[in-house]
Amino acid sequence: MAETYRISSSFMVKFITSRSLSTVGKSKTPTRSLTAKLTNKLLTDPESITMASTDFGNIVQEIPLGILQPSCCEEIVDLVRAAYSDDNSSVLFPIAARGRGHSVRGQALARGGVVVDMTSLASKQGGTGGGAAIAVSWSALLGHYADVGGGQIWRDLLEETLGHGLAPVSWTDYLYLTVGGTLSNGGISGQTFRYGPQISNVHEMDVITGTEELMTCSPNENPELFYSVLGGLGQFGIITRARIALDRAPKRVKWVRMLYSDFSAFTRDQEHLISKNGRDQDNALDYVEGLLLMHQGPPDSWRSSFFPESDHLQIASLMDRHKIIYCLEVVKYYDDLTQNTVNKDLENLFQGLSHIPEFTFQKDVAYVDFLDRVREGELKLQVKDRWDVPHPWLNLFVPKSRISDFNDGVFKSIVLKRNITTGTVLIYPMNRNKWDDRMSVVVPDEDVFYFVGFLHSSGFDDWQEFDLQNKELLQFCEDAGIEVKQYLPHFGSEREWMRHFGSKWRLFQERKDQFDPKMVFAPGQKIFDSN
Interface mask toward ligand FAD for 33-72; x: CB under 6 A = ----------------------xx----------------
Shortest gap between Cβ of 162 and ligand FAD (angstroms)? 20
Which of 178-186, 313-321, 478-486, 504-512 is the region at the interface with ligand FAD (rule: CB under 6 A)? Answer: 178-186
Written in H, E and C, the secondary structure of 207-244 is EEECCCCEEEECCCCCHHHHHHHCCCCCCCEEEEEEEE
CA distances for 29 relative to 34, 172, 202, angstroms: 10, 40, 39
Cβ atoms of residues 17 and 46 within 8 Å: yes
Q: Which stretch binds ligand FAD (CB under 6 A): 86-94, 180-188, 335-343, 365-373?
A: 180-188
Counting runs of H as helices and runs of E as strands, what totals does the chain give? 19, 18
Q: Is residue 102 flagged as an active site residue?
A: yes
CB of 487 to ligand FAD, least distance (A): 7
From the list 180, 409, 444, 489, which residue makes contact with ligand FAD (rule: CB under 6 A)? Answer: 180
| Smallest distance, ligand FAD to C-beta of residue 220, A | 21
239 in contact with ligand FAD (CB under 6 A):
yes
277 counts as binding ligand FAD under rule CB under 6 A: no
Q: Interface with ligand FAD includes 100 (CB under 6 A)?
A: yes
Among residues 56, 69, 93, the alpha carbon closest in space to that of 488 is found at: 56
The amino acid at residue 183 is L
User: Could you tell me how far CA 223 lies from the centroid of its own chain?
Assistant: 23
Position among 233, 371, 427, 439 found at the interface with ligand FAD (CB under 6 A):
233
Judged by CB under 6 A, the residue of 43, 52, 68, 96 near ligand FAD is: 96
173 scored as a contact of ligand FAD (CB under 6 A): yes
Which amino acid does the sequence have at 16? I
Burial classification of residue 428, based on how many CB atoms lie within 10 Å of its CB (0-12 exposed, 13-18 middle, 19 or more buried):
buried
Query: Who's near 392: CB < 8 A, 6+ residues apart?
Result: 57, 59, 104, 456, 458, 463, 464, 466, 467, 470
**What Å distances lie between residue 152 and 56, 117, 146, 207, 250, CA to CA?**
18, 11, 12, 15, 22
For residues 25 and 187, which CB has a smaller minimum distance to ligand FAD in the complex?
187
Q: Which of 186, 196, 423, 429 binds ligand FAD (CB under 6 A)?
A: 186
Q: Say how many C-beta atoms besides its own lie within 10 A of residue 19's C-beta.
A: 11
Answer yes or no whether residue 205 interacts with ligand FAD by CB under 6 A.
no
Dist. CA 63–CA 54, nearest whole Å: 8
When the beta carbons of 266 and 287 are compared against ligand FAD, the nearer one is 287
CB under 6 A: which stretch of 80-88, 172-180, 212-220, 289-297 binds ligand FAD?
172-180
d(CA 503, CA 501): 6
How many Å apart are CA 460 and CA 7, to the nearest integer?
7
**Beta carbon nearer to ligand FAD, 97 or 293:** 97
Q: How many residues bind ligand FAD (CB under 6 A)?
A: 37
Give the number of C-alpha atoms closer than 13 A to the C-alpha of residue 398, restricted to the C-beta side.
31
* Residues 117-136 as x/- pattern, contact with ligand FAD by CB under 6 A: -x------------------
259 forms part of the interface with ligand FAD (CB under 6 A): no
Catalytic residue among 55, 156, 160, 173: 173
Identity of the residue numbered 19: R
Find the binding residues for ligand FAD in span 489-528 (CB under 6 A). Answer: 522, 524-525
Question: Which string of DSSP letters, residue by residue, matches 143-209?
Answer: EEEEEEETT-BHHHHHHHHHTTTEEES---S-S-SBHHHHHTT---STTHHHH--GGGGEEEEEEEE
Binding span for ligand FAD by CB under 6 A among 187-195, 354-362, 365-373, 505-513:
187-195
| Among 126, 187, 299, 390, contact with ligand FAD (rule: CB under 6 A) | 187
CA distance 266 to 254: 20
Looking at the Cβ atoms of 355 and 373, the one nearer to ligand FAD is 373
**Total residue length of the chain:** 531
Based on the shown chain and the rule CB under 6 A, indicate whether residue 178 belongs to the binding site for ligand FAD: yes
385 is catalytic: no
Nearest distance from C-beta of residue 341 to ligand FAD, angstroms: 29
Nearest to ligand FAD of 328, 455 (CB atom): 455
Nearer to ligand FAD among residue 120 and residue 277 (C-beta): 120
Select from 58, 107, 152, 267 the one that contacts ligand FAD (CB under 6 A): 107
Active-site annotation holds for 159: no
By the criterion CB under 6 A, which residues form the site for ligand FAD?
55-56, 96-103, 107-108, 118, 150-151, 172-174, 177-178, 180-182, 184-189, 233-234, 238-239, 488, 522, 524-525
Query: Which of the residues are catalytic?
Result: 102, 173, 289
